[in-house]
């Protein structure tokens, strides 16, 4: 499927610098969701995540959000071996204002062991081991400010702030 979506240049040859993108969306039922996968872009700095996956949920009338997010995390971690997976809501994203290769803040954050390990958590935060990483969970009932403060405190307690950016170290750890 992805191979058939590679942009073509003159003469029908793959236009390599743009890599690929693939979108799957479902709607009309109890859950509206979309998965957006991109990757293969050449010439990007190793500071940019490649490939990347975004799984969005727009509306759910009957689905249990915690169950949906948990299932998404399992699929993303097992399918892509990412640096991290995060479940955010708009309010948290606006308050955290993190970017580039800083670790994200959210209601659920899974961090791969090659990025760093988590052994201490802030008050009210739950920690679980999942696959080859640590899953940080805060209550879904928390307000955005509580989420940001608790997750950033957890990062501070563990000496974490960003994904390793040394290209040689990054690619060696991914092999």
State the Cα–Cα distance between residues 144 and 92, nearest whole angstrom.
5
Weakest-pLDDT range from 46-50, 52-56, 81-85, 94-98: 46-50
CA distances from 159 to 32, 93, 97, 152 (A): 37, 21, 19, 10
pTM score: 0.72
**Selected residue with higher pLDDT from 23 and 168:** 23
Question: Quick check: 68 and 60 in contact, CB under 8 A?
Answer: yes
pLDDT band at 151 (very low <50, low <70, confident <90, very high): very high
The side-by-side arrangement of strands in the sheet containing 52-60 is 20-26, 31-39, 52-60
pLDDT at 137: 94
3-state secondary structure of 150: helix
Pull the structure tokens for residue 8. Answer: 């073509």
CA distances from 158 to 9, 11, 151 (A): 47, 53, 11
When pLDDT is averaged across residues 22-31 and rounded to a whole number, the result is 68
End-to-end CA distance of the chain: 25
Q: Cα angle at 126 between 138 and 68, to 5 degrees? A: 55
pLDDT at 1: 42
Burial letters 35-70, b for 16+ CB under 10 A, else e = bebbebbeeeeeeeeebebebeeeeeeebeeeebbb
Tokens 């696959």 sit on residue: 131
The predicted-structure confidence for 39-78, as pLDDT tens digits, reads as follows 655 554 444 455 666 667 666 666 677 777 888 888 888 8
Long-range contacts of 138-143, Cβ-Cβ distance < 8 Å, separation of 24 or more = 138/107, 138/108, 140/65, 140/66, 140/107, 142/107, 143/91
The predicted-structure confidence for 101-145, as pLDDT tens digits, reads as follows 678 888 999 999 988 999 999 999 999 999 999 999 999 899 999
> What is the helix (H) or strand (E) element at residue 79, kind and residue range?
helix 65-80
Please provide the average confidence, as pLDDT, over all residues in the chain: 76
């Amino acid at each position: 499927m992805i191979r058939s979506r590679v942009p073509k240049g003159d003469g029908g040859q793959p236009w390599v610098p743009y890599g690929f993108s693939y979108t799957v969306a479902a709607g009309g039922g109890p859950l509206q969701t979309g998965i957006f996968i991109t990757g293969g872009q050449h010439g990007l700095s190793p500071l940019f995540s490649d490939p990347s996956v975004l799984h969005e949920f727009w509306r759910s009338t009957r689905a249990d959000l915690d169950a949906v997010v948990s299932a998404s995390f399992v699929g993303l971690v097992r399918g892509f071996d990412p640096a991290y997976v995060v479940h955010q809501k708009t309010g948290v994203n606006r308050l955290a204002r993190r970017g580039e290769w800083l670790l994200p803040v959210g209601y659920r954050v899974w961090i791969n062991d090659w990025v760093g390990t988590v052994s201490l958590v802030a008050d009210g935060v739950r920690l679980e081991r999942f696959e080859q990483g640590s899953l940080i969970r805060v209550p879904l009932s928390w307000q955005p400010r509580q989420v940001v403060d608790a997750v950033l405190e957890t990062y501070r307690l563990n000496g974490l702030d960003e994904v390793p950016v040394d290209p040689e170290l990054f690619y060696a750890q991914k092999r």
